[in-house]
């Protein structure tokens, strides 16, 4: 499998997809067209999302074809040169993907080696479940099951602390709840500006910030770019 799983689309003060576009360009080398899944969009249309991504992908010479325009979405996946899944609301994305039978279709396709790029919610859905998303369940999918391309869970946009004056649970406390309830599962806290690249059976962290590792019975710890992540595979 060849996956590029990005924590966030936009760093503070930057334009949309500005920071990861060079990495995406390298990842999609020699590919001139991607099938885009825009179903995480809520407050703007799928067509607007397609145009937004296309505007950035014009810089790298890649055509964006949104799956919402297809009468046969699974066929579009089967014929895709590469697949991109955008961020937004993970529950809305999951619901629509499940309704169209895209989870299994995408898993089959990426197991054949088709490149997959996802950011935020698009990274969440490569996990076994969407249970470590940060999003509000504004709609109800058939289940929390996702593509299952990787064996671990991702928490994108991972934050280390709560805002000043907020007495609620920290992100780490929420993840600790998850690993107690799901003791066999690893969770990675993927900070903004970072991404994971899986290729040829090797998982690599890309970015200047460390990634936080969670597993029931183990004290959370940090890994950095270049560290061995084979334990997650």
Of the residues 68, 157, 197, 199, only one is catalytic, namely 157
CB 42 within 8 A of CB 88: yes
Q: What mean pLDDT comes out for the span 204-216?
A: 97
pLDDT of residue 168: 81
Q: What is the pLDDT of residue 162?
A: 76
Of the candidates 108, 109, 131, 127, the one whose C-alpha atom is nearest the C-alpha of residue 118 is 127
User: Catalytic: 32?
Assistant: no
- What local confidence, expressed as pLDDT, does residue 169 receive? 87
Alpha-carbon 94 to chain mean position: 12
25-34 pLDDT, tens digit per residue, is 999 999 999 9
Whether residue 167 has pLDDT greater than 80: no
Residue 48, sorted as left (phi over 0), alpha (psi -120 to 50) or beta, turns out to be alpha
Token pair of 191 as six digits: 């900070």
To which H or E segment does residue 76 belong? helix 73-78
Class of domain 2-232: alpha beta
Domain ranges of the chain: 2-232
The tokens describing 142, both together, are 């058939």
Write the pLDDT tens digit of every residue in 170-190. Answer: 999 999 999 999 999 999 999
166 is a catalytic site residue: no
Catalytic residue among 7, 66, 120, 123: 120
pTM, to two decimals: 0.96
Does the structure show a pLDDT above 80 at 59? yes
- Using alpha carbons, list the distances in angstroms from residue 33 to 61, 101, 166, 228: 8, 22, 45, 32
Query: Catalytic site residue 157?
Result: yes
């Amino acid at each position: 499998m060849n996956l590029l799983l990005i924590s966030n689309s936009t760093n503070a003060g930057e334009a949309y997809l500005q920071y990861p576009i060079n990495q995406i360009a390298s990842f999609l080398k020699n590919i001139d067209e991607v099938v885009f899944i825009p179903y995480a969009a809520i407050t703007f249309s799928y067509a607007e999302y397609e145009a937004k991504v296309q505007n950035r992908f014009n810089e790298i010479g890649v055509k964006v074809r949104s799956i919402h325009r297809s009468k046969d979405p699974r066929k579009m996946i089967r014929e895709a040169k590469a697949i991109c899944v955008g961020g937004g609301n993970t529950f809305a994305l999951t619901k629509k993907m499940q309704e169209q039978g895209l989870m299994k279709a995408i898993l089959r396709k990426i197991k054949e080696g088709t490149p997959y790029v996802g950011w935020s919610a698009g990274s969440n859905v490569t996990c076994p479940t969407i249970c470590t998303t940060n999003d509000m369940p504004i709609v109800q999918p058939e289940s929390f099951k996702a593509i299952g391309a990787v064996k671990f869970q991702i928490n994108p946009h991972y934050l280390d602390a709560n805002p000043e004056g907020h007495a609620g649970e920290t992100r780490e406390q929420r993840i600790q709840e998850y690993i107690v309830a799901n003791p066999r599962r690893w969770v990675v806290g993927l900070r903004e500006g970072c991404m994971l690249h899986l290729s040829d059976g090797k998982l690599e962290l890309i970015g200047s910030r460390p990634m936080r590792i969670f597993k029931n019975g183990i004290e959370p710890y940090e890994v950095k770019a270049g560290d061995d992540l084979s334990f997650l595979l």
